[in-house]
Amino acid sequence: MKNIFKQGAISAAFIAESIEKHKSKMNIGGHSIFLGQVRADKINDKEVMAIEYSAYEDMALEKMHLIREGIFEKYELTCLHVYHSLGQVKAGEISLFVFASSVHRKAAIDACEEIVERIKSELPVWGKEIFDNQSYQWKENSK
């Protein structure tokens, strides 16, 4: 099973490397990428400084495997890569990287959007919003 989890933030350099690797796949016509970035939300006068992510890793990887299979059945993708942070990711940094590629753009765009929605609603991952005064609250995903 492919591991999607990375300790800490996902760097722009890592994303560039992933893009670069697809140069040799000459049947690809379009890539659709989604990046989730940690927002410095203000909640009751406190500002989110970072999100600390934890996961039920075994279950999340099994679930992600099933999501991948479903997506590949539904869309004609050339490839699909997903990375999610664990541990602390500071405001302004990237915690989710979804990268779908296909011969014609439509499949990559639609698949990428669906994967992001499914990751948010189906993966046992939790984000703890850490405020600038060191207090915290558990994040709630908006629909």
Q: State the maximum Cα–Cα separation within the chain, in Å, rounded to a whole number.
A: 51
124 binds its own copies per the rule CB under 8 A: no
- CB burial of 93-108 (b: ≥16 within 10 Å; e: otherwise) equals bbbbbbbbbbeeeebb
Q: Which of 5, 8, 30, 118 is close enough to bind its own copies by CB under 8 A?
A: 30
The C-alpha atoms of residue 6 and residue 4 are separated, in whole angstroms, by: 7
How many helices (H) does the chain have, and how many strands (E)? 3, 8
39 binds its own copies per the rule CB under 8 A: yes
Residues 10-49 that bind other proteins (CB under 8 A): 36
7 binds other proteins per the rule CB under 8 A: no
Q: Which of 96, 107, 108, 112 is close enough to bind other proteins by CB under 8 A?
A: 96
Binding residues for its own copies, rule: CB under 8 A, are 12-13, 15-17, 19-20, 22-37, 39-40, 91-94, 101, 103-105, 109, 112-113, 116, 142
